[in-house]
Chains A and B, each alone.
Chain A
Amino acid sequence: MAMNDNVTKILGRAWLFGPNISTDMLSPGQYVHHPPEERLKHVLESARPEFAGQVRPGEIVVGGPNFGCGSSRESAPQHLKDLGVAAVVADSFARIFARNAIAIGLVAIACPTLSEVVEDGDIIEVDVIAGRVFIADRNITLDADSIPESMMDVLRHGGIEPMLALIGAEQAQDK
């Protein structure tokens, strides 16, 4: 199984969002049964209508406190991943969102006060292993939380799905 090392250091443009970005904003309930490509057009539209159309692969979503609050819908981080977002960094996360992000192989790392310091469009570097965020334009470095080893293992596998395939292969051998 190929390990993914692109999850340890991420450099990209920051899209800044406010506090309490909810899963209803990330993945509005009214589009739950719409086709995937249609659903992506509405990601975060109630916060920043231009986001879904303009975000580019490798960019970073920066949120305030309690990012991803609300439901357990995994489409919330999945939509960000599908739009090419490389990492979500927020002052703090709602628990389920952070778990779901890691489970699908999207880096989610808490960095208290980041949203107060960073400006929209800044280029930031997220060092997941060291637990640091560097804002190059301002020469500011902030401490970020570390991700527990069990979660890093999931990220390196590219998410839980590839890990399940390993279990499936074992079951096939057991008969």
Chain B
Amino acid sequence: MSFTDVKDSSKSRLLESDQQTVAEEILARASGRNWVNPGENVVAEVDAMMMHDIFAADVLSMLKKAGIRRLNNPSKATVVFDHMVPSPSVSSSSHQAKARELIRYYGIDAFFEIGTGICHQVMVEENRVAPGQLVVGTDSHTTTYGALGVASTGIGSTEMAYALATGKLWFRVPESIAIVLDGEFQFGVTAKDLILKLMKVIGSSEAQYCSVEFGGPSVGNLDLADRMTVANMGVEMGAKFTIFPQGALTTLKRDARYIARHVVSLDKLVPQIAVPHHVENVVDVNEVVGVPLDQVFIGSCTNGRLGDLRLAADVLRGKHIAKGIRLIVTPASANVMAAAAREGIIEDLVKAGAYVGGPGCGPCFGGHMGLLAPGERCLGTHNRNFRGRMGSGDAEIYLGSPLTAAASALAGAIADPREISDGLSSVHTGTTMSSSGG
């Protein structure tokens, strides 16, 4: 992948520009202004709020304890139970029971029980977010809705309590970075490889607090699922928002106030792997081919959609994973799981030796399901490889695409998916390889 970087952060140009970035436009609208400037703090009206089972009870208990009797607007709130599902412990069960009671008390109708799916997938499937909105969620991967042109970001439970009570929250207007996509994905390369490469090349030193906005001639090569994968991991770059402009905001404005503009050519992109213990430690797959694995995980809000499972099944169909390796697959939602079952994908995966679990977050965040022992090594399609993320702090986590994960499960070690050619047809390039699950 080649980068042509144009950095122009000269104050005068920024101040002279009469065009706002997508983030600025959304924050201006939400704070009742025509115009906002990066670095300003604004109080904005939030369009939608999302909570999951880890935090819903804490948020709503805090409101109850403070004597709050009603939410500013209960119809803006969504709760999805996805993390500790089905509950693995009595304490989790009690926590969830308390949340259910408070969800009723506050009249939150948009409550999705265990089994519906991972919160971010559910928010998109159930149309709980729309282009141009300002959305917050008690999960860092709330940036995912940027795939739909939403300015969405993660907050903590205390700030969520404030947002629910008042309908408002303060935001620092971020500076914005433009990513202009050019060229086409090559065989065996996916949107996951793109975001991993961006992690390496741009990373949190540049993108911290920024709105990262995507455009360019090849942005149409990424379908909704691809965009969700990229927007999802924007937070790993430290981004506040990751936005694919939509609707009235379809293209990146040429003269808007971007502090940097990166032109990214997809043509030369090869499969990427994040190596322990940070998501910015990204290498080309060939540098780690052959590293032995104990476990492979395919799933999460990053890569658990229908297109992802389809790719894995295409690699694994009629074969069996290597001896001594464990493969865990969790679909991103019930809709994804049902579609995968209809297509025979679930059968292919199970026959290849996979443990297929229900929809949820389990293995990805290390809450339960497939925790690693000290010294074990896992390659996953999820979003974080921090020490201790999936169990023992002495385990190692590698991150890659669903194709790389499936190829590695077959090999029992990290493998280059471009070398698993039989069963994979040449149509598996970025333009056709994915689909929005559900």
- Residues of A at under 8 Å CB distance from B? 20, 22, 24-25, 28-30, 32-35, 45-46, 65-66, 69-74, 92, 94-96, 99-100, 103-104, 148-151, 159-161, 163-165, 167-169, 171-172
Q: How far apart sit A137 and B384, CA to CA, in the bound complex (Å)? A: 39
Pick the contact of B95 from A33, A45, A161, A169 — CB < 8 Å? A33
**B70 and A72: CB pair below 8 A?**
no
Shortest distance between the CB of A40 and any CB in chain B (Å): 15
Pick the contact of B371 from A30, A169, A172 — CB < 8 Å? A30
- Cβ of B208 under 8 Å from chain A: yes
Nearest opposing residue in chain B for A153, CB measure = B170
Q: How far apart sit A12 and B92, CA to CA, in the bound complex (Å)? A: 37
List, in ascending order, chain A residues with CB within 8 A of B386's CB.
22, 24-25, 69-70
A165/B66 contact (C-beta < 8 A), A46-B388, A70-B140, A72-B154 known = yes
**A29 and B161: CB pair below 8 A?**
no
**A74 and B68: CB pair below 8 A?**
no
Nearest opposing residue in chain A for B83, CB measure = A32
Shortest distance between the CB of A65 and any CB in chain B (Å): 7
List, in ascending order, chain A residues with CB within 8 A of B155's CB.
72, 96, 99-100
Q: How far apart sit A70 and B58, CA to CA, in the bound complex (Å)? A: 20
A-facing residues in B221-243 (Cβ within 8 Å): 236, 238, 240
Q: A103-B159, A161-B62 are in contact. List 13 more A-B contacts (CB 8 A).
A: A24-B388, A33-B84, A66-B208, A92-B208, A94-B238, A99-B159, A100-B158, A148-B172, A150-B170, A160-B158, A160-B159, A167-B66, A167-B165
Nearest opposing residue in chain A for B93, CB measure = A33
Nearest opposing residue in chain B for A92, CB measure = B208
A–B pairs, 6, beta carbons within 8 Å? A24-B384, A33-B89, A66-B208, A100-B156, A150-B43, A161-B161
A24/B366 contact (C-beta < 8 A), A65-B205, A70-B384, A70-B386 known = yes
Nearest opposing residue in chain B for A162, CB measure = B66
- Residues of B at under 8 Å CB distance from A? 41, 43, 54-55, 58, 62-63, 65-70, 84, 88-89, 91-92, 95, 137-140, 142, 153-159, 161-162, 165-166, 170, 172, 204-205, 208-209, 236, 238, 240, 278, 280, 365-367, 371, 384, 386-389, 391, 393
List, in ascending order, chain B residues with CB within 8 A of A165's CB.
66-67
**A71 and B140: CB pair below 8 A?**
yes
Q: How far apart sit A161 and B154, CA to CA, in the bound complex (Å)? A: 19
List, in ascending order, chain A residues with CB within 8 A of B156's CB.
72-74, 96, 99-100, 103-104
A168/B388 contact (C-beta < 8 A), A28-B393, A72-B138, A150-B170 known = no
Nearest opposing residue in chain A for B203, CB measure = A66
Shortest distance between the CB of B358 and any CB in chain A (Å): 19
Q: How far apart sit A34 and B368, CA to CA, in the bound complex (Å)? A: 13
Q: How far apart sit A104 and B170, CA to CA, in the bound complex (Å)? A: 15
Pick the contact of A45 from B43, B69, B393 — CB < 8 Å? B393
**A32 and B54: CB pair below 8 A?**
yes
**A24 and B63: CB pair below 8 A?**
no
Pick the contact of B67 from A30, A94, A103, A172 — CB < 8 Å? A172
List, in ascending order, chain B residues with CB within 8 A of A33's CB.
84, 88-89, 91-92, 95, 367
List, in ascending order, chain A residues with CB within 8 A of B280's CB.
20
List, in ascending order, chain A residues with CB within 8 A of B384's CB.
22, 24, 70-71
List, in ascending order, chain A residues with CB within 8 A of B55's CB.
72-74
Q: How far apart sit A72 and B144, CA to CA, in the bound complex (Å)? A: 14
